Every structure is written in C-alpha cells, then in structure tokens.
Amino acid sequence: MAAQHRLYGRSAGKPLSERRQRLLAEKFPEVSVPDTSGDELDPLRLFPSAKEVWLEIGFGGGEHLAGQARRHPDVGLVGVEPFLDGIAKILGLIEEERLENIRLRRGDARDLVAQLAPASLDRVFILFPDPWPKTRHHKRRLVRPDFLDSLARTLKDGARVRFATDWADYANSALEAFLADHRFSWVASCADDWRMPPSDHVPTRYQAKGLGDCRPVFFDFHFTPLLIQRGN
C-alpha cells in the first residue's frame, strides 16, 4: 500500500503551560480513544448511555466540539486532532465545564476512520481543514474521493456530514468530490443554505480570523448507502 500524504505540518507549537502539561498527563488518558491497532472500534462503546455518536475531524481549539457536547449531552462526540496545542486546549474545556461526552484521538483522522466499525457514526463535521492552497499540495487535502469512500463505510443510513472552508478552490473541489459520490446528497435548496452559517453551528476562533480567500461556506450532506443490484 502506498504511503499516505501528510495532512498537516508541525504537530506541536510553543511549550505548554504547567496546567496544560498536567491535563495531558492526567486527563488525556481518561478521555483518549484507544488505538485498536487494526481491530474494529465501535465508538458507541465509549459512550454507554449515548443515543448517537458524532465525529469532528480537526477540531482546532475545540470550541465547536465543546459547544456541541454542551448542547447535546445525550450524544457522544469523538474529536480527532493532530496538534498538541488543540488537544491541550479542549482538555481545559472538558475539565472546566465537566463535559463527560467527549473522547479524543491525537493523530491522523484517516487512521481513526479506518478503525471505526461500519455504520457507527450519525454525524461528521469537517470544519476548516488545512486548505493546502498551493496546487502542488492539493494531494494533501483531506476531502478527496478516496477519503470519502473510507468515511462512507462508517456512516449510518441517514447520517449527516458538514464540510466548511474559507478557501474558494477547496470549496469547489470538495463539493465536486461529494457530488461525484452518489451516496452523498447536498441538502442546500438556496444560496443562503451554504453562504450562511447553519443555525446549529458553533463559531470558532479560526473562523473569526478570516484567513482564507473567501467568506466561509458550509456544505451539508445527507448520506444514503447505494443499493446493490442483484441478478436473478
């Protein structure tokens, strides 16, 4: 199997404060999603009393992930993020707000998705992933046909997927990839459905910085498995 292209650059920044170092040492093991080393992982087992499981890929500082956990205490939320600073930040929110319905994985989202059990996710958020704006780096973008095929395996019939970006070229290429996979139906009925933040969106600090080349766009998709035609 060919090596995967990296989706991110450095995974750590400035030295962490003593408090964040403590959270990583003490709190992170309590909420960490185990690495099953190739064995199937049913995320519902991480949340025995949850009615659904949602996944956020690349949660940054954790504002959106924590906000959704706060609003939906009956939903289990799994967040995957490669950057150590982001892990440390959301651990602070988990401790401060006593959020018990969040589990975390540090690393490449593709590895976690590959371990998840089939039809185990009810909702997925991919919000403002690294756009890799240079043409020669487009192959490093997360939302590509091969990843969507892997993600589709983990989605329940009727699951929802939200993709957001503030880079026009990435918005176009991602929308093309989703629409080319006929299991994903774009639910927009008018321009405001993708130009305006959805009513249940939780803004993030990254979004507020406006670092992209366009206003943020939000694409929501409904997932339906393809029916297999069988011969007589």
Please identify every residue annotated as catalytic: 130
Count Cβ atoms below 10 Å from residue 179 Cβ, excluding itself. Answer: 13
Tokens 């600073």: give the residue.
Answer: 85
SS3 state of residue 186: strand
Cα separation, 29 vs 39, in Å, equals 20
What is the identity of the amino acid at 200? D
In 3D space, the residue among 222, 221, 223, 229 whose CA is nearest the CA of residue 163 turns out to be 221
Pair 63, 56: CB distance under 8 Å: no
